Amino acid sequence: MKRHDVRWRRLLAALLTMPLLMLAASAYSAPKNLLVLGDSLSAEYGLTRGSGWVALLDKRLQQEKIGAGVTAVINASISGETTIGGKTRLPALLSKHAPDIVIIELGANDALRGLQLSATQANLQALIDMARAAKAKVVLVGMQIPPNYGADYTNKFSQLFPAAAKQNKTALVPFFLKDVADKPALFQADRMHPNEQAQQTLLDNVWPALKPLLK
């Protein structure tokens, strides 16, 4: 075989392979807007700005080159937010940011305010429906409350999240405060809000449910 024929064959092979490589690279490179709808646990309550788990998420995305620097993380969390408040705010957020993924971290304040479980359940469903109607994927963040609320209420509350995730086939973070809730040293002085040292663990709890949706 002549030398120039070999060169042409190699060039042709490279040209045929290039689209496949570009397709593989684009799996993570397409722009994705990620919206976090949460309460004080995600709003950096009592923390230095930029030290919360959502800010750490943004840094991790860049470090792992997921999104190749074009993934936008919008933190729409507000301290004291309930599922009712989230339901009221979400339509405007969806319209403004057109997120590809919505992380719903709400519900704890419902329990603190004594909201009926059926209302929280209905609100979570409404949030999921809104996000999906906007063509966004959903990550539902599971919450639990202390046993002093009564065993029946506590158990039923914790089951709201896996039940909603199963019914809607959404990604689920089983328990947002896993490996944090049982460690007093990871809380602020109010004993309710995780401190800066806990934020990496919170992100690690969310990451397994979120990462597959970034592809």
- At residue 143, φ and ψ (nearest 5 deg) are -125, 155
Q: Output the pLDDT for position 18.
A: 42
40 is catalytic: yes
58 is catalytic: no
Q: Output the pLDDT for position 191.
A: 94
Q: Output the pLDDT for position 5.
A: 55
179 is catalytic: no
Q: Output the pLDDT for position 172.
A: 98
Catalytic residue among 58, 97, 193, 204: 193
Residues of the chain with pLDDT under 50: 6, 8, 11-29, 68-70
Catalytic residue among 40, 42, 77, 158: 40
Q: Output the pLDDT for position 148.
A: 83
Catalytic residue among 5, 152, 182, 190: 190
Q: Output the pLDDT for position 32.
A: 86
SS3 letters for 2-37?
CHHHHHHHHHHHHHHHHHHHHHHHHHHHCCCEEEEE
Q: pTM for the whole thing?
A: 0.85
